[in-house]
Amino acid sequence: MAIAERAAAERHDIFTEDALAWAYFKAGRLGDAAAASAQALRTGTRDRDVLYHAAAIKQAQGDNDAARALVGRSLAKRR
């Protein structure tokens, strides 16, 4: 987690924020995971991994509607 925190402090890209969010999630730090996930989603990304991670974090927080919406976005066909 320390590596992800250092990387996120230096790099402000969505994939680093997503990695940090997932590390927090795996460590049970849901509040921190949600904050980092929000940063990862800030650009409206359609990256399936980022969306899946965000959905898992939302579900763990009990926000099933948001989790379902994120899963739907992650599975949407790309044109």
pLDDT value of residue 4: 82
Q: Report the mean per-residue pLDDT for the chain.
A: 92
Question: What is the number of structural domains in the chain?
Answer: 1
User: What would the pLDDT profile of 22-59 be if each residue is shown by its tens digit?
Assistant: 999 999 999 999 999 999 999 999 999 999 999 999 99
Please answer whether residues 30 and 42 qualify as being in contact, where contact means their C-beta atoms are separated by less than 8 angstroms.
no
Do 36 and 8 meet the contact criterion of CB atoms below 8 Å apart? Answer: yes
Task: Kindly report the three-state secondary structure assignment for every residue of 4-69.
Answer: HHHHHHHCCCHHHHHHHHHHHHHCCCHHHHHHHHHHHHCCCCCCHHHHHHHHHHHHHCCCHHHHHH
Structural domain including 30 reads 2-75
* CATH code of 9's domain: 1.25.40.10
pTM of the model: 0.89
- Residue 79's pLDDT band, with cuts at 50, 70 and 90, is very low
